[in-house]
Structures are given as C-alpha cells and as structure tokens.
Amino acid sequence: MDIRLLWLAVGTFAIGVESFAISSLLPQIADSTGVTLTQAGYLVIAFALANAFGSPVLAALTGTADRRRILTITALIFAAGAVWAGFSQGYADLMAARILMAFSAGLYTATAQATGVAISSVDHRARAISVIVGGTTMAVAFGAPLGALVAGLVSWRGSYFMVAGFGVIAAASIWIMLPSGLRGSSLTLRQRIAAVGLPGVPGALLTTLLNLAGAFTVIIYLAVVTTGSIGLPRELVPAVLLAFGVGAAFGNAAGGQLADRIGARATVVGAIVLNGLMLVAISLAAHLPAGLVAPVFFALIILWGATGWAFPPAQSSYLLSLSPGNAPLVLSLNASALYLGIAGGSLIAGLVLQYGTPSDLGWVGALFPALSLLGIGLSAALRQPEPSMARLG
C-alpha cells in the first residue's frame, strides 16, 4: 500500500472527528450559546448543506490546480475554521465557522479521493479510495469518543482545538509526502452534475440520501437519546460513542468483504434492512425493565454501528459497478447525497424533539431506510451499460 494514502486519510480523520463528535457536543453548545437544542442542530444542517453543494462547485473551480497545494490549503483552512469555532462568540459566529469548515472539508475529501486514484495503479484504485474513506471510519470509531471525552473535561471548545491540531498535522504531512505537479481533469460543474444522469446512479444516490437521513435522525442526537430516553448519565456518552465506533470499524471492514463475496447490491439491501430494525430497537429499548435498559442499549449501539457502517463501502462498490469509468464523479456525488441525508435527518430529528420525545427518534428514523429500498429498486431497473464520461488520472 502507498504510504501517502495514509496521510491523505489523516485529513478525512480530522473532518470525521468534527462531523461525528458534534452529536455529543450539541447539548453543551446549546447551553453555551443560549439557543435551543433544535437550533443547535441547525449547525449540523448548515455544515451538511454547505458540504453537499459546495464540494462539486469548488472541485470544478480547482480541477486543474496542483493537488498537493489544494489539499494543504484546504486542510489549513479547515484547521483555521476549527480554531475560529473554538474561540467563537455566540451562535452566529459558530455557524459561520462551521460553514467555512464545511466548504474546505468538501473540497478536501473530493480532492483526496481523486488524488488517491491518481497515485495508484488501475487495479488498486478502489483500495486507495477505501483507505482514504477509512480515515472517516477511524474518526467514528475513536475520534468521536475522544472529542466527547475532551468536551467533558475542558468543554466543547477544547474539542475544536483538538480537531484543528489534526488538520495542521494533515496539512504538514501532505505537503511533505505528496509530489507536486499532480493535476486533475478540467471538468465543468455541468459535466460533474451530468453524472447524476448515468443509468442506475439516480436511484443509488436516492438510496444513500434516505438511508443516511434515517441513521442521522438518531446519530445527531445520540447524546440526547442516551441521557433523555435511556436515562444514562452524561458521563457515559463517550462510552456510547466508543461502542458505536467499535461496531462501525467492524462493519466497515465486513461491508467491503461481503460486497466482494455476495455482491454489493445484496450487501447494501441487507445493511439497509438491519439499519431500520436497529433504529426501531433503539426506540423500544427505553421501555425495557430498568435493569436491562443499559446493557441492551450498549449491545444495540454496537450492532447498529456494525450494520450501519457496512453500508458505505458496499454502496461505494455498487456505484462503481454502475459506472466504473466515472468512479471519482459518482463517488463525489455520493458524498453530496450523504451530506444531504445528514441535513435531512438532522432537520427531521429537530422536529421530532420539538413535537415529541427522544424515544421517538428511532422509529421515525426507521421510516427512511424502508423508503431507501425504493431507490435500490429504481437503480436496478434503470441500470444499463454506459460509456465513461470522464476519467480521472
């Protein structure tokens, strides 16, 4: 394996820590900034939307620029945004910092994947992408609990300073390890968006959006579910995140292996069904006898992490099978669909908390994985061989 891929993954790790640790920070942020918990959740929605829509635009604008320079600058901007967030004075200030972080995160992730493909041989490109995406998995497994632990010790601001440190490490490593002169294809925004029309791709993107919306209906308020629905003390939130992360690490590895053995589509369907079942079970766990609630909840969280994170690698494999010659384009669009799903799930969760209770989040979220199966059916129905639109080298 090319060691340079690991340094690219450090950046996706930093981004993932911020993106997933915030679920444990929202109650503190709401108290600190004087807003409601639902309004604090709008920080997640803004980040997700800025990432989803900003990534293809910025990728089009910087497509032919030196990739080492783009990756280094975006990692430093992300780190600067994290410092800004740590020192922010009020809700609007923090919102602006997170939007800046979202734009830089989206461009970094898209460029990192394209760079991984460029520096790898043709038969190792999928593996290169999996290593870079693996940075996000490690962030879920270990970074998010660490962020929650730091927040518990020194407040949520300390978590942002930690994220900034990871961003600086990524920038320095990339500048040292990557060669200069790597440049991408000159693709316009219209050409990038046109990949949405490739046969089978629209249904697959809809599947990603809906399945992630269901998962993030709970993930984004997992701390609230832990304390408000399950009744565990706030000090156990990092342990809950760690349990979820350990499951996610196993699920990510298993999802890729299962996709190779039984097929990507079958793995995606299985992961979606299990995601929905786990969400329902999390809602039901609050109604168990008092002595069973905590152990059953932790077991469910581990299983949910595993089943939920079996989806991303299998879905990436499925998208690659739909259009092998357009891998960077369809994976970039999938990332946008993922963040649109996060935004949708966060919005839905906020409405549930406004009109219901934390224990309602699971069963409401489970509706969306069920709907996402329609996307898989649509993708399969429309799938046809299609020539490559663009190749990224």
Domains of the chain: 1-184 (1.20.1250.20), 191-393 (1.20.1250.20)
Q: Which of 148, 218, 200, 185 is nearest to 59 (CA)?
A: 185
The confidence score (pLDDT) of residue 393 equals: 41
Handedness of CA 51, 54, 57, 59 (dihedral sign): negative
The confidence score (pLDDT) of residue 233 equals: 92
Positions in the chain short of pLDDT 50: 385-393
The confidence score (pLDDT) of residue 186 equals: 64
Beta bridge partners of 183: 66
Angstrom distance (rounded) from CA 297 to CA 284: 10
Residue range 274-318, pLDDT digits in tens: 999 999 999 999 889 988 999 999 999 999 999 998 898 888 888
The confidence score (pLDDT) of residue 387 equals: 43
- The residue type found at 252 is N
The confidence score (pLDDT) of residue 344 equals: 93
Angstrom distance (rounded) from CA 325 to CA 41: 38
339-342 CB contacts, 8 Å cutoff, 24+ apart: 339/48, 339/49, 339/51, 339/52, 339/106, 340/48, 340/49, 340/52, 340/209, 341/208, 341/209, 341/210, 341/211, 341/212, 341/213, 341/215, 341/216, 342/44, 342/48, 342/212, 342/213, 342/216, 342/220
**Residue whose entry in the numeric block shows the structure tokens 């309602």:** 360
The confidence score (pLDDT) of residue 380 equals: 64
The confidence score (pLDDT) of residue 390 equals: 42
Secondary structure (DSSP) of 40-109: HHHHHHHHHHHHHHHHHHHHHHTTTSBHHHHHHHHHHHHHHHHHHHHH--SHHHHHHHHHHHHHHHHHHH
